[in-house]
Amino acid sequence: MDLGMRSRTGRRAFLPALAAIITWLAPAAFSATLLVTNPEPAVCVTSEDAVFEYTWGTLRPQTGLFSFSPPGLPALAPVVHAPRSAGPGDLVRVLVTEDEELDSLSAQILDSRQHVMFQGVGFRPESASPGHWVVLVGISSEIPKGEYSLRVTAQAGARSVMFLSPVSVVERLFRFERIPLNTDLTTLRTEKDPRKTAEAKEMARVLTTPHADAIFEEGTILVPLAGARRTSGYGDRRKYVYADNSADYSVHEGLDIASPAGTPVPACGRGKVVLAGSRIMTGNTVIIEHLPGLFSIYFHLSEITVRPGDVVAEGDIIGKVGMTGLATGPHLHWEIQALGVPIDPVALASGPILDRDADFGDIGTAKDPKGGE
């Protein structure tokens, strides 16, 4: 699992005096740079490995854990586990233990200019003991390899925490495929239609709206129709060749599974149906939320047998294979998105979404008073 990096707040809080002075002198610069809203004077406690710059009244954390609290309140001292490297299509799991109640927790992957590329919101897994939190962040198949950073922020009342660590994104190669479209499908894909725009907007809204209480599936999801032939994979680079021989390029964000029309389609895991209906491009469509912000998506169904609000178990039938929408033959398009970012569904199905033994067991080790790595 993703357990490369650990950080503990050190017992020696070597920064409080400095941070308090910084805050008194330049509260605006302080809070703006740190992206934490803390107008009161703060004490800053950092992890022993923390690296930061202080110039002209501005503190710039670079790596490590920075915990801010008003004088007199004990600083939050979370333990953060996060990977040091990731690949295109990965679901990055960030694990946080903090004994105190948190008001908010989130994580972001930042590029070298500190722009947010991908993000996730924290939730408490059902299986975890109190004080255990998880944030899931999806990495798109289109991310260039290189150096990025992970930023985790948490807040509890007037206290806040920022954790920063470098993340290397490795290279991954994807397949290329050429798809000729007949006149009807060319029209379907290229014709401007305000309904298409409205449907795209609505789907984007659904896929970027996490529900904090959507704690349904932490185990291993199944690949629907696993025995059937897969005709397109996650991240395939596609060239659509139109009826007039012009072309367009796109990335295929899910898995295409060829199957006879009418084959029952099972839900890949336990979850709540958040969208079930007909769309122009994707035909009869079902979307299920499994964890806050983690969705499975099913396209081109001939028939839908669930309704929004239904809670389904893994394997429950949600519809039937068809070729509604933009499809050249009967197949299921199955896709997983993490807060609007398509991730590799087959990789996700290769093990539990949250591996309690691997993840939370190891957090215990990190809390060892000797702090062994």
Query: Least CB distance from residue 254 to Zn ion, whole Å?
Result: 5
* Least distance (Å) between residue 297 CB and Zn ion: 10
- The neighbour count for residue 206, using CB atoms within 10 Å, is 17
- DSSP percent split of the chain into helix, strand, coil, nearest 5: 15, 40, 45
* Nearer residue to Zn ion within complex by CB, 235 or 292: 235
Nearer to Zn ion, 256 or 359 (CB): 256
- Decide whether 335 or 355 has the Cβ nearer to Zn ion: 335
Choose, by CB under 5 A, the member of 98, 256, 344, 355 that binds Zn ion. Answer: 256
300 lines the binding site for Zn ion (CB under 5 A): no
Q: Is the Cα dihedral 45, 47, 48, 50 positive or negative? A: negative
Selected range binding Zn ion among 30-38, 240-248, 259-267, 331-339, rule: CB under 5 A: 331-339
253/355 with CB nearer Zn ion: 253
Q: Between 172 and 230, whose beta carbon lies closer to Zn ion?
A: 230
Question: Contact region for Zn ion (CB under 5 A) — 82-90, 201-209, 248-256, 346-354?
Answer: 248-256
Among 145-153, 196-204, 326-334, 338-346, which window interacts with Zn ion (CB under 5 A)? 326-334
CB of 115 to Zn ion, least distance (A): 29
What per-residue string of b and e applies to 263-292 under the rule 16 or more CB within 10 Å gives b?
bebbbbbbbbbbbbeebbbbbbbbbbbbbb
Cβ(95)–Cβ(81) under 8 Å?
yes
Give which of 300, 226, 236, 296 is closest to 262, Cα–Cα.
300
Joined tokens for residue 287: 């979307």
Residues 6+ apart with CB under 8 A from 324: 278, 283, 284, 300, 301, 302
Q: How far is the CB of 236 from Zn ion (least distance, A)?
A: 9
C-beta nearest to Zn ion: residue: 333
| CB nearer to Zn ion: pick between 152 and 181 | 181
Task: Please say whether the beta carbons of 122 and 152 come within 8 A.
Answer: no
Residue the block writes with tokens 């799991």: 93
d(CA 340, CA 203): 9
For residue 113, which phi and psi values (nearest 5 degrees)? -95, 15
* Number of Cβ within a 10 Å radius of residue 248: 13
Complex with Zn ion: residue 90 or 256, whichever CB lies closer? 256
Name the residue nearer to Zn ion (CB basis): 132 or 279.
Answer: 279
Residue 63: other Cβ atoms inside 10 A = 18
Query: 190 with 249: CB under 8 angstroms?
Result: no
Nearer to Zn ion, 8 or 333 (CB): 333
CB of 127 to Zn ion, least distance (A): 32
Among 10-18, 113-121, 214-222, 256-264, the segment contacting Zn ion (CB under 5 A):
256-264
Q: Which stretch binds Zn ion (CB under 5 A): 71-79, 234-242, 264-272, 333-341?
A: 333-341
Among 160, 333, 344, 354, binds Zn ion (CB under 5 A): 333
Q: d(Cα 8, Cα 151) in Å, to the nearest integer?
A: 15
* Residue span binding Zn ion (CB under 5 A) among the ranges 47-55, 71-79, 205-213, 255-263: 255-263
CB of 334 to Zn ion, least distance (A): 8
Residue 256 beta carbon to Zn ion: minimum distance, rounded to whole angstroms = 4
How far apart are CB 99 and Zn ion at their closest, in Å? 45
Handedness of CA 180, 186, 188, 192 (dihedral sign): positive
In one letter, which amino acid is 68?
Answer: F
Q: Select the span of 65-73, 189-197, 316-324, 327-335 touching Zn ion (CB under 5 A).
A: 327-335
Residue numbers at the binding site for Zn ion (CB under 5 A): 256, 333
